[in-house]
Structure 1
Amino acid sequence: MTKIAFTLLWGAVLVAANRALQDATWAQYLVTFILGGIYALALSKVRILRGGNVSEESK
């Protein structure tokens, strides 16, 4: 449930950033790329977003 809420919140951040940069296409691409990287990093590093039940073999 936490991952779903985080994803919805992150989607809202991405939409807001793209609307704020509506006239600068290159800036939209850059912000989308950076926010996508931060999202992927957060999902892989934050324990509560990973589910907490990660076995030792997958580390």
Structure 2
Amino acid sequence: MAKIAFTLVWGVVLVAANRALQDTTWAQYLVTFLLGGIYALALSKVTILRGGNISEESK
């Protein structure tokens, strides 16, 4: 459930960033690339978003 909520919030952030940079195409590409990388990193590193138990964190 946390992953779904995080994805929906991240989608809103991405849309808001793209609308704020509407007239600068290169900035939209840059922000989309950076936010995509941060999203992927967050999904792979944050235990709650991975769906694992807190006790698995020490492994």
Aligned residues, how many? 55
Percentage of pairs with the same residue: 89
State the superposition RMSD in angstroms. Answer: 1.4
Residue ranges of structure 2 left out of the alignment (5+ in a row): none
**Counterparts of 1:32 and 1:25, CA distance in 2:** 11
- Equivalences for 1:1-59 in 2 at 5 Å? 1-53=1-53
> What stretches of structure 1 move > 3 A for 4+ residues in a row?
none
Cα distance in 2 for partners of 1:10, 1:35 equals 8
| TM-score between both structures, scaled by the size of structure 1 | 0.88
TM-score, scaled to structure 2: 0.88
**TM-aligned CA deviation for residue 52 of structure 1:** 1.2
The Cα of 1:41 is off from its aligned counterpart by: 0.0
